[in-house]
A and B are shown apart, each in its own frame.
Chain A
Amino acid sequence: MSFWSLMMADLKSILTDKAIAVTIFGGVLFYSVLYPLPYLNEVPTKQQIVVIDGDHSSLSRQVIRHINASPKLDVVSELATIEQGQHWIESGKAHGLMVIPDGFRRDLIRQEGVTLAYAGDANYFLIYSAVIEGLMSVGIDAGKYVQFNGLLARGNSAEQVKHDLEPIKLNSVPAFNPSLGYTPYVVPGVLLLVLHQTMLIGIGILGAGQWGREGYWNRASVMQLILARSMVFALLYSLFTCFYVGFCNYWYGVSVQGDMLQVMLFLIPFILSTAMAGVAFSCLFVRRDLPTQVLLLISMPILFLSGFIWPLELIPAPLIGLSQLIPAVPSIQGLLQLNQMGASWTDIVHLWWQLWALALGYLLLAYVGVRYRLNSAVAH
């Protein structure tokens, strides 16, 4: 059987097998919409908070107006006690509260320190940080406003007062994801994982359905079969990868800094090592419903091990070591650095070589596995 007809036979069994076709074509399309879907609004805005105003002064009312003016916050009610506020949080009507103490304005004007208390529902970190950041900036502004007026009243010039209040400016700017959006944060990594998982599942189902049966796969040499199969999937997935890394990144507004040729060069061993790993992986199964289950269960750990959600510094070393054998992990790390963070080729070239090494390693494993599967079929 020629190499070309072997590839065509593989392609035909992929397209005519509903389970595989649905997984790789349907899955790739479906997930490109579904995974980014919850994050399309990017940042939490207008979080509901309640204010417990014990002061009822012009300044406390001004603080409340400032809270309402903040894009992150929205005052939904003014309550009398902290217990009421907590009750609002527990019933989900608010996510944070601010307590303005009695004598807030008076104490500030008399230059006696006051304490503003903020609380946020830390069950939801994104809400919590929005609430606290919003309230902090409002509180700091209120203090500055009083200081500003006080210093002006003592005859300092406005220019000088501004200076005195902020002798050094801290200019903190987000890099690589300037809008701090959630989609640009999640999309590049997760979509690459989707490619990895669906390709492994597709090859897994294909192999598991063939071992132990008679068919075109028995009429080729082991190496030919492995190469033809990984070539077919690699070609299909080159298209999917172009769709994800090209179109989806653009569509979801992910900032892209990489050079296109370098990104393509980097993704070649990703696709090849995943395809080889898929063929090796498929030899573990003879039941078509099992490969999906195994990969489903390890999807979440792989995502967390790729280091952009939970910092690698905090992950135990044995888990990191193990994760380096999974093509998705170095690929996500490398692609994020190359394409999103603008690292140079020399910075990530070790990951590129690692992927080639993985491709070679999995090719050997695939050889052992496929030979075993084909020989045991002949023996029966």
Chain B
Amino acid sequence: MSFRQLLQRELNALWHEPWQLALISYIPLIGIFSLWWLFNAGLPRELPVAIVDQDKSQLSRMLVRQLQANAVISPIHYQDVGSAKASMEKAETYAVVVLPFQLNRDLLTGHQPIIDIRYNAQYLLVGKLLSSQIQLSLADGLKHKALIKQLASGVPMAQAKVNINPVQTQISALYNANSNYIVFLLPPVLLALGQLLAMLVFANSLNRELRLNTLQEWFSLGTRRVLFAKILVYTPLIVLQGRLILTLLYQYLGLPLAGQFGQLLLAQVVMLLAVWLLVLTIFFLLQDSARVISFCTALFAPAFPFMGITFPTQEMPLLAQWWRLLMPSSHYIDTHVGVVSYGQSFSAFTQQIVSYWGFLFLIPIIVFLARKVKRDTQVVLSKTQCSEVN
């Protein structure tokens, strides 16, 4: 069989398998679209915060207005601390701000009053964001109050501003100027999805040979040649999905992109080759379609936390850092961040490619396992032939 016929064999197999077709056509589209839709808001806005205003003074109302003016906060008034607390326990509000009784009076008479803020740290992301935003808004309001005090004591406006705030700060969020969650979270989430799809597509293609009992045919056509045909058919198809993701993120949504797509697509090809090696190892080891899928799933499902985007890599325990290296997606994400944010050079890219070296050790293992499977199928075949002769 010529190599072209082998490619046709793969395409034919793909065409006759509805689930496999779905995995390379509408399932990625639905997956990418729904995850994007989910995070579409991008910036957290109008998160409910319980306010208990026990003072009901001009000052406390001014502070509530300050909170109201913050885009992240949506203040909801509660009459007492108990009901505010209950609303937080029900996750109806994410934080509680208590403006205490006689806040204004204590401030004027020089007793340092305390404004209590409690935020939901079980929902860590929302909680931390609200804590800093609430403090910023309240501090800003209090500064305004202090400014008036300074002005009243005869300090000129320019000097009063400096007195209150001698150290100004200028904060820059590098590579993601407005701390957008789409920039932060969507690329790794979609990458994790893409890797899962790639793994499934390749595992299904291998499993089909098991299910239809065509392993013998595969081996007689040349183990390596059929494998190359599979790689040659599925790698471009999956890279196409990767290109689609890049198009959505950096062209349609227009997220900041410092480098070029070329490096990213090349990095995707290398990542896919690593995925193929892992899947092949598991396939030749287990030789049962349901178990191959289960095992691959167990391996690839937790790829996302190990990428090191949500929780930094160097803070992980050593064991987790080793496990991270098993995941092709964690190697790829380094290139992705490098290209998208830092516009890294090609030499940095080659260094990242070298980090895949460990996967090369899978090749002899695959060869060994494949030979064993080949021998076993031939033994089974000759036995059935013997029994047919008898």
Contact = CB atoms under 8 A, between A and B. Distances in A.
A327 interface: no
Given A111-B166, A347-B86, A122 B159 contact: no
6 closest Cβ pairs, A-B complex: A143-B167, A174-B121, A122-B173, A122-B176, A177-B121, A90-B342
A307 B38 CA distance: 11
Interface string A40-72: 110111000000000000000000000000000
A178 B315 contact: no
Interface in B156-213: 159, 161-163, 165-177, 179, 181, 183-184, 189, 192-193, 196-197, 200, 204, 207, 211
Contacts of B119: 172-175
A261 interface: no
A313 B123 CA distance: 13
B167 A35 contact: no
Interface stretch (B3-11, B45-53, B221-229, B361-369): B45-53
Q: Which of A136, A172, A313 has the most CB of B within 10 A?
A: A172
Interface string A337-356: 10011111001100000000
Interface string A294-335: 001101110011011111011110010000000000000100
A315 to B, nearest CB: 6
Given A123-B176, A289-B204, A311 B94 contact: yes
Q: Which of A108, A113, A120 has the most CB of B within 10 A?
A: A113
A60 to B, nearest CB: 12
A34 B316 CA distance: 12
Contacts of B175: 121-123
A171 B115 contact: yes
14 contacts: A18-B288, A23-B298, A119-B172, A119-B173, A139-B169, A168-B115, A169-B113, A170-B114, A289-B204, A293-B293, A297-B200, A304-B38, A314-B44, A340-B122
Interface in A172-190: 172-178, 180, 182, 184-186
Nearest to B134: A172
Contacts of A163: 110, 112
Contact of B112 (A34, A167, A342): A167
Contacts of A293: 19, 23, 200, 204, 293, 297
B169 A118 contact: yes
A118 B298 CA distance: 41
Contact of A31 (B132, B204, B302, B344): B302
B320 interface: yes
Given A205-B290, A308-B123, 4 more contacts: A120-B174, A123-B337, A167-B107, A316-B38
Nearest to B166: A143
Contacts of B200: 293, 296-297
A14 interface: no
Contact of A336 (B46, B91, B184): B91
B160 to A, nearest CB: 11
Contacts of B305: 35, 38-39, 186
B112 to A, nearest CB: 6
Given A22-B295, A40-B320, A126 B139 contact: no
B148 interface: no
Interface stretch (B29-37, B245-253, B260-268, B270-278): B29-37
Interface of A: 18-19, 22-23, 26-27, 30-31, 34-35, 37-41, 43-45, 86, 89-91, 108, 111-129, 132-133, 136, 139-140, 142-143, 146-147, 163, 166-178, 180, 182, 184-186, 201, 205, 209, 287-290, 292-293, 296-297, 299-301, 304-305, 307-311, 313-316, 319, 333, 336-337, 340-344, 347-348
Contacts of B163: 111
B135 interface: yes
A18 B167 CA distance: 65
Given A143-B166, A292-B293, A300-B193, A41 B171 contact: no
Contacts of B131: 172, 174
Nearest to A197: B301
Contacts of B338: 90
A168 B112 contact: yes
A120 B170 CA distance: 11
Interface in B103-141: 103, 107, 110, 112-128, 131-132, 134-135, 138-139
B152 interface: no
Contact of A27 (B34, B181, B298): B298
Contacts of B320: 37-38, 40
B191 to A, nearest CB: 11
B86 A344 contact: yes
Contacts of A86: 174
Contact of A299 (B145, B301, B316): B301
Contact of A139 (B123, B139, B167): B167
A174 B348 CA distance: 41
Contacts of A140: 167
A115 B169 CA distance: 5
Contacts of A170: 114-115, 117, 135, 138-139
A38 B306 contact: yes
Contacts of B293: 289, 292-293
A185 B150 CA distance: 44
Contacts of A34: 302, 323
Nearest to A255: B122
Contacts of B91: 307, 333, 336-337, 341
A126 B128 CA distance: 10
A90 B294 CA distance: 38
A129 B290 CA distance: 43
A38 B310 CA distance: 10
Contacts of A300: 35, 189, 192-193, 304
B366 to A, nearest CB: 20
Contact of A309 (B125, B161, B324): B125
Contact of B312 (A127, A133, A292): A127
Interface string B352-364: 0000000000000
B319 interface: yes
B319 A37 contact: yes
A33 to B, nearest CB: 9
A212 to B, nearest CB: 15
Q: Which of A121, A140, A296, A333 has the most CB of B within 10 A?
A: A296
B162 A112 contact: yes
B39 interface: yes
